[in-house]
Amino acid sequence: MSAQAPSALIAEDEPLLAAALQAELARAWPELRIAATVGDGASAVQQALALQPEVLFFDIRMPGMTGLEAAAALADQWPTEERPFPALVFVTAYDQYAVQAFEAQAMDYLLKPVQPARLAKTVAKLQLALAQPAQAAINLEANFEATLGQLRGLLARGLDGGALAGPAAAPLQHIQANVGTSIRMVPLAEVVYLEAADKYVRVLTAAHEYLIRTPLKELLPQLDAQTFWQIHRGTVVHSACIHSVERDEAGKLSLKLRGRPETLPVSRLYAHRFKAM
């Protein structure tokens, strides 16, 4: 932990709200240095990795990548062997239902518009952790897996800036893909894996590859979660097609598949699926 004044990164796509939070932080915590303010999730990940602040204030709803997705992506790339994962505070305008979900988690949150009294409690909690650098480092390191677990739970609940999931429908059985002037009905049983590609999804079977226009985020709730496992932010595999799981010297996991030559990386967020193997 640095002996210098602690630093923070604010990720908020509304400039006025970002400025308001920065101003409130200046009053509540004058020593805190705002290393950067960014307006989208991808920039939040990039700047957090570059600047390595002690504290992150992530808005939930940001363009391109939500705050939860950004936190998950950052957790996947953070050099935990060199530096503890930052204290993460979500800033949200969610309703009471979502707030209750956040309260069940160990992470802190701030409800928009940020109230000085509530911010003061968050600041006190952060200052207490940072004032005990050795213990904080131990705690943050020990809590990293818990942070990943919390992110998994929040993402699974659909609290990533999208609508809350409705009642579960029957899992999808076929994917409809345009092939020339025809529509091919691709049985899910033949799909080896799905991969997000910008606004599209690549559907890969053992013998073919299709491109569909449905974003992976919309497709995921329609899949049987027992059969199709998300292993990365943009990758879902048919569990029966996993041939083996490999671990490299850095501890990162990758999958070899039946029916496809590709090797697929497994993000830290989803590595828990393979701990027992």
State yes or no: pLDDT of 209 exceeds 70: yes
Instruction: Mark 209-221 as b/e (b = at least 16 C-beta within 10 Å).
Output: ebebebebbebbe
Q: What is the pTM of this model?
A: 0.71
Reduce the DSSP state of residue 1 to 3 states and report it: coil
pLDDT digits (tens, 9 = 90+) for 254-269: 999 999 999 999 998 8
* 16 occurs within a structural domain: yes
What secondary structure letter does DSSP report for 6?
A: P
* 212 occurs within a structural domain: yes
Give the residue from 108, 132, 157 where a domain finishes. Answer: 157
Q: What is the CATH number of the domain that holds 186?
A: 2.40.50.1020
Q: 143 and 214 share a domain?
A: no
The parent domain of residue 236 ranges over 174-274
pLDDT digits (tens, 9 = 90+) for 131-158: 776 555 555 555 666 667 777 777 766 6
Q: 22 and 149 share a domain?
A: yes
pLDDT digits (tens, 9 = 90+) for 159-205: 554 444 444 567 889 999 999 889 999 999 999 999 998 789 999 99
Give the residue from 125, 157, 189 where a domain finishes. Answer: 157
Q: What is the CATH number of the domain that holds 41?
A: 3.40.50.2300
Give the residue from 127, 157, 187 where a domain finishes. Answer: 157
Query: What is the pLDDT, as a whole number, of residue 96?
Result: 54
Query: What is the pLDDT, as a whole number, of residue 99?
Result: 60
Instruction: Mark 38-59 as b/e (b = at least 16 C-beta within 10 Å).
Output: bbbbbbbbbbbeeebbbbbbbb
Query: What is the pLDDT, as a whole number, of residue 84?
Result: 81
Query: What is the pLDDT, as a whole number, of residue 114?
Result: 87
**Helices assigned H by DSSP within the chain:** 15-28, 41-51, 67-77, 96-103, 116-130, 133-142, 144-156, 216-219
**C-beta separation of 210 from 179 below 8 A:** yes
| Token pair belonging to 22 | 């920065």
Across the range 71-87, mean pLDDT stands at: 83
* 201 occurs within a structural domain: yes
* 39 occurs within a structural domain: yes
Query: What is the pLDDT, as a whole number, of residue 159?
Result: 55
Count structural domains, the chain.
2
Q: 189 and 152 share a domain?
A: no
Start-to-end Cα distance in the chain: 34
Instruction: Mark 157-190 as b/e (b = at least 16 C-beta within 10 Å).
Output: ebbbbeeeeeeeeeeeeebebeeeeeeeebebeb
Q: 268 and 197 share a domain?
A: yes
Q: 78 and 204 share a domain?
A: no
pLDDT digits (tens, 9 = 90+) for 96-112: 545 655 554 446 778 78
Q: 18 and 103 share a domain?
A: yes
Q: 36 and 123 share a domain?
A: yes
Question: How far apart, in whole angstroms, are the C-alpha atoms of residue 86 and residue 215?
Answer: 30
